[in-house]
Structures are given as structure tokens and as C-alpha cells.
Amino acid sequence: MPYLFYLPSLLCGLAIGVKDVRGRRVRPSWIVVGSLAQLVSDVIAATIANSFFLILQSVLFTALCAGVLALLSAVRAGGVNAVDALAMIPLGLAVGTLGLRAILVWWLAIGVFGLPFIWCWNRFAAGGANGGNGGGMGRRFDRRGGMPFIPVIVAAAIIAVVVGTML
């Protein structure tokens, strides 16, 4: 049952994803608690596997992924933001233990899920074609600003973990 080691980041990701969609305000304390819980889970998994390289691998891949997303958020305002980069930390600690293939699957899945999500969000939720209100959802989300991208990151991480555990 190796998939149980990924539950802390999954639960944290689901919680911050829901909070991101509902209010566009995610508390960094949730991310810190989720990251620490996933790190403890990684230590337990590494102890059972007798491979402490897994901890270093997951931390380095997490730093790389969060750093790349932080750079992307700094390049263009209005796209992904710093909270999205912070949300990569607990999820990166889970996906990073599975290695480079899982990280590549994760980023590929972010692109595969992200592009249609951005299109749908701009078209329907943020006030696209239907007279500016986007079918009724636009006013609610325009008031809070931005697009919730954390659910895309979480869904992609789930796919990466599933694929990574099968490889």
C-alpha cells in the first residue's frame, strides 16, 4: 500500500484547492502543515525502503518545481501567482519521491489540464461571451480576482502519483 504515503499532500491539496476555488485566499499555514506532514510521510517511506535518497530527491524536485512556477508567476502578472507556487510544495514532496518520470508526467498533466481549464475559465467563469457575466458565474469570481489554478496542479499531481506508482 505505497499509495498511502501520498495521502498528506493529497488531503492538503484538496483542501487548498477547494479554498482556492471558493475564496481565492489560501492560508500559507495550511501549506506549511501539509508540507510538514508529507515530509514526515516521506521520511517514513524512506525508512521502510531503506533509501534516504528519496528524501533528498523529493526536496530537490520540490524546490525545482516551486522555483519554476515562482519564476512563471513573476514573469506575467495575472497568470499563476505566488500561492500557486507555494501549493506546489506539499504536492512536490509527494510527486518528487517517485523520481524524474513522475515530475515530467506532472508538468505534462499540468499543461494538458491547464490549457483547457484556462480556456473554459476565461470563456465561462470570468465573463467571456455571454454579455460580460459569463453565464452567471463571472460576477462572483471577478469580484475576488484571478483564476484558481491550484485544482489543476492537484489533479495533475494525482495523475502523476498514479502513473508514478505504476511505473
- 116 in a domain, yes or no? no
- 133 in a domain, yes or no? no
Q: What cell was used for 74?
A: 513573476
C-alpha–C-alpha distance, residues 114 and 166, integer Å: 23
- 57 in a domain, yes or no? yes
Q: What cell was used for 163?
A: 502513473
pLDDT of 109-150, one tens digit each?
A: 998 998 888 888 777 765 555 444 444 444 444 434 577 888
HEC readout, 110-162: HHHHHHHHHHHHHHHHCCCCCCCCCCCCHHHHHHHCCCCCHHHHHHHHHHHHH
- 126 in a domain, yes or no? no
What is the span of the domain harbouring residue 71?
2-103+147-166
Q: What percent of the chain has pLDDT over 90?
A: 33
